[in-house]
Structure 1
Amino acid sequence: MPETPAGACASPSDTPYDAHSSIGRQLRRLVTQLASTVDRRMEPLGLTDAQWRPLLCLLHGSPATASELARLCGLDTGGLTRLVDRLLAKGLCQRERSRTDRRVVQISLTPEGERVAAQLPEVLSQVQRELLHGFSSEEETQLRAMLARLQDNALALDQLPKI
């Protein structure tokens, strides 16, 4: 087996799998920690990590149906319905029948929901700034590019035949 030159990295296929340091585990731990941090930062707004997503989607868009909002938030419609029920109870959003098609129910922000949702970008930006503390802008750009490549590779895995 040829040796890897000094200073060169082994290719990923040459690296044995280690469950404790796997990229998947590291990403999962990062996402878990980040969700916990966002949860704490959302407490003053009366929101959880999960509840801010639909509000932010509605802030940047027009009223949406449950299926549209679920797709935008990356949730199944059942999960989104439960989230919207909680947001309705807090007075942050409302359900309204479409004026053009009475079968369609649209979800929109209430004035209080608009007030709360307007604060989300700054809270999330602050968390992101803290997360990237110590990274140069070049390193941030590289990280974003590497994460995009990982995501593309992960999507391609679904296209491979099963072993």
Structure 2
Amino acid sequence: MESDELLLVLLQRATHVTLQVLATDLADLKLTASELNVLANLADGKPRTVSEIGVAAGVRPTTLTGVLDRLADKGLLARAAHAGDRRAVEISLTPRGVRSAARISAAFAAVESRALDGVPESAVKQARRVLSALAAS
């Protein structure tokens, strides 16, 4: 691997490998990568609007609608009118969704821990800044 390899190429490769590991570790949940992503973003238990989930998960609204429909059909999340804005829909986890999201979050943390074992904390912080910048672009 060359040191001048594009960062985005490395990021894509890392994402692909990470998704393969997570798909194997969480295969029994029978969830797509997009579904795992949405549940991971809801793992803190705080209800979110559809638009907030879209921003957090980096998913387009048209894609997100299908993902939310599938997760609702699987009994993992519920939709309700937002208390402060009746035009907005609020998404929350069902009890089964809470259990699945906790497992997903733990799996994400384990993969990250294994991958970053031995990497200095300063490098991890720098990587977080770079990835945050890329996600904001």
TM-score (norm 2): 0.78
Letter of the 1:143 counterpart: A
SS of residue matched to 2:87: coil
| Cα deviations by residue, 1:72-104 (Å, 9 ceiling, x for unpaired) | 212222221111111011110111123554322
Counterpart Cα distance in 1 of 2:71 and 2:96: 11
Q: Percent identity?
A: 29
Q: Where does residue 46 of structure 2 map in the other structure?
A: 62
Q: Distance in 1 between matches of 2:110 and 2:65?
A: 29
Residue 67 of structure 2 corresponds to 83
Q: Which residue matches 1:92?
A: 76
Compare the two structures and name the one with the higher helix fraction.
2
Q: Contact 1:56–1:117 (CA<8 Å) still a contact in 2?
A: yes
In structure 2, the partner of 1:41 is 25
Contact 2:81/2:87 (CA < 8 Å) preserved in 1?
Answer: yes
Structure 1: 5+ residue stretches without partners: 1-16, 159-163
CA distance in 2, matches of 1:60, 1:80: 19
Report the aligned-residue RMSD: 2.8
SS in 2 for 1:119: helix
Which residue of 30, 37, 47 maps to 1:53?
37
SS in structure 1 of the partner of residue 32 of structure 2: coil
Distance 1:152 1:103, change over 3 A: closer
SS of equivalent residue, structure 1 residue 96: strand
Hey, what's the Cα distance between the residues in 1 that align with 2:133 and 2:78? 39
Ranked by relative contact order (alpha carbons within 8 Å, sequence separation 6 or more), the top structure is 2
Q: What's the secondary structure of 1:118's corresponding residue?
A: helix
Q: Any stretches of 5+ residues in structure 2 without a counterpart?
A: none
Deviation at 1:132, TM superposition (A): 2.7
Report the number of matched residues: 135
Q: TM-score, normalised by structure 1?
A: 0.68
- What letter matches 1:80 in structure 2? L
